[in-house]
């Protein structure tokens, strides 16, 4: 039996993941919002486990579009053998592990909701064994439908196709929210292509403020990046997204410019195409994010840039928004 803990918790990530590390019985978790860091950690705990694992969420393309329900994270659960189910109108956040551990509270399976990072003000209550049994019975009586690999692909497509007009007014003081709202509205413009641009070396936030530029390889042909496209800048060594820029020029073949910026002649010939940019979202802190979380395929960044899905782009932007909003 898991030792009794505080009956009311403000932060659940340590308590919950300690229970998931060695479950004495079947695991049943329910939350409408699930982001990649939490989903991938659940998947690692479930891998090879002898007990049954089920995660219940709400099939919501708007939540996917908004970065609050992460499809790559759900795929990681399926790959680990976790059953993923949909419950219509789900609002409960309930986490049961065997017969002896249970939590009901306000926090979703997100980093802020569990307290892993940038914690929200949440409260959760420990359940007694009788309450755990009652909660499990009620949850399994919901009208559940199982999510499949094909269903997750379709959900991602629905999220990309979903278009919603921006709210008519955002508070002037909430400049980060306004910036993000405009950025994601532009990202849904079908004339724009969404990119992740990989950068080597140490991240340099100051480089992306105001007007700037990036270099691309392909000495034999012009990259397909064009004015109006949006790019998340991704530091490969740091595994961090740290800026979003808008491309303002067609690629220009200009090795001489790169040499003037300190590049060696060899690197200037390897990365000769210059795209000029303007700042769209550049917080003051780096945001760690995995390649899978922003839906970039293995090897997708070998050429320095890769097309992104709207869902992956939105996830990256939402991470940056959290970093910017956390600043004093």
Closest CA to 320 of 292, 275, 268, 285: 285
Q: If one looks up domain 166-325 in CATH, what number appears?
A: 3.10.590.10
pLDDT tens per residue across span 228-264: 999 999 888 787 888 999 999 999 999 999 899 888 9
Give residue 79's pLDDT band: very low, low, confident or very high (50, 70, 90): very high
List the chain domain ranges: 8-160, 166-325
Average pLDDT over residues 114-120: 86
Rounded CA-CA distance 197/294 in Å is: 12
Q: Which long-range contacts (CB under 8 A, 24 or more apart) does 291-300 make?
A: 291/239, 292/36, 292/40, 292/72, 292/76, 293/36, 293/37, 293/70, 293/72, 293/73, 294/196, 294/232, 294/234, 294/241, 295/71, 295/72, 295/156, 296/196, 300/196
pLDDT at 219: 59
With a cut of 60, say whether residue 190 has pLDDT above it.
yes
Mean pLDDT on 122-151: 95
Which range is least confidently modeled, 81-95, 213-227, 260-274? 213-227
In 3-state terms the chain splits into helix, strand, coil percentages (rounded to 5) of: 35, 25, 45
Q: State residue 177's pLDDT score.
A: 76
pLDDT tens by residue, 152-184: 999 988 887 765 544 444 443 357 777 888 898
Kindly state the percentage of the chain with pLDDT values over 90.
55
User: For position 286, what pLDDT does the model report?
Assistant: 77
Q: What is the mean pLDDT of the chain?
A: 87
Lowest-pLDDT choice from 7-11, 110-114, 291-295: 291-295
220 burial (CB, 10 Å; 0-12 / 13-18 / 19+) is exposed
Segment 261-271 mean pLDDT: 89
Report pLDDT for 165: 46
**Contacting residues for 153 by C-beta, under 8 A, at least 6 apart:** none
The reported pTM is 0.64
CATH superfamily, domain 8-160, is: Endonuclease Chain A (3.30.870.10)
Give me the mean pLDDT over the 58-83 stretch: 91
Q: Give the sheet arrangement for strand 124-126, strand by strand.
A: 8-9, 124-126, 101-105, 94-97, 27-30, 53-57, 83-86, 145-146
Mean pLDDT of 110-136: 92
Mean pLDDT of 308-316: 86
Q: Helices in the chain by DSSP H: which ranges? A: 13-21, 36-46, 61-65, 71-79, 111-114, 129-140, 149-161, 175-187, 255-260, 265-270, 310-325
- Written as six digits, the tokens of 34 are 């699930």
C-alpha distances (whole Å) from 193 to each of 10, 89, 232, 306 are: 42, 33, 11, 10
């Amino acid at each position: 039996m898991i030792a009794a803990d505080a009956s009311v918790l403000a932060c659940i990530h340590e308590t919950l993941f300690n229970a998931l590390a060695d479950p004495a019985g079947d695991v049943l978790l329910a939350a409408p919002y699930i982001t990649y860091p939490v989903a991938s950690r659940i998947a690692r705990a479930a891998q090879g486990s002898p007990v049954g694992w089920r995660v219940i969420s709400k099939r919501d393309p708007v939540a996917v579009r908004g970065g609050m329900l992460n499809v790559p994270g759900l795929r990681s659960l399926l790959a680990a053998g976790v059953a993923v189910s949909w419950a219509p109108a789900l609002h409960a956040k309930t986490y049961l592990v065997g017969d002896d551990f249970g939590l009901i509270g306000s926090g979703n399976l997100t980093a802020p909701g569990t307290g892993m990072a940038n914690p929200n003000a949440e409260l959760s209550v420990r359940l007694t064994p009788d309450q755990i049994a009652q909660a499990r019975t009620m949850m399994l009586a919901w009208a559940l439908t199982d999510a499949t690999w094909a269903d997750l692909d379709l959900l991602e497509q629905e999220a990309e196709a979903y278009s919603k007009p921006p709210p008519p007014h955002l508070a002037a003081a909430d400049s980060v929210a306004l910036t993000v709202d405009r950025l994601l509205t532009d990202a849904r413009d079908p004339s724009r292509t969404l990119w992740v641009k990989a950068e080597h070396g140490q991240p340099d936030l100051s480089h992306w403020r105001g007007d700037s530029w990036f270099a691309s390889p392909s000495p034999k042909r012009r990259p397909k990046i064009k004015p109006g496209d949006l790019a998340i800048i991704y530091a490969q060594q740091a595994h961090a997204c740290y800026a979003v820029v808008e491309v303002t020029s067609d690629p220009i073949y200009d090795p001489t410019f790169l040499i003037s910026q300190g590049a060696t002649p060899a690197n200037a010939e390897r990365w000769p195409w210059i795209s000029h940019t303007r700042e769209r979202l550049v917080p003051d802190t780096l945001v760690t994010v995995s390649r899978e979380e922003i839906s970039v395929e293995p090897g997708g960044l070998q050429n320095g840039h890769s097309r992104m899905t709207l869902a992956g782009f939105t996830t990256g932007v939402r991470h940056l928004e959290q970093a910017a909003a956390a600043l004093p």
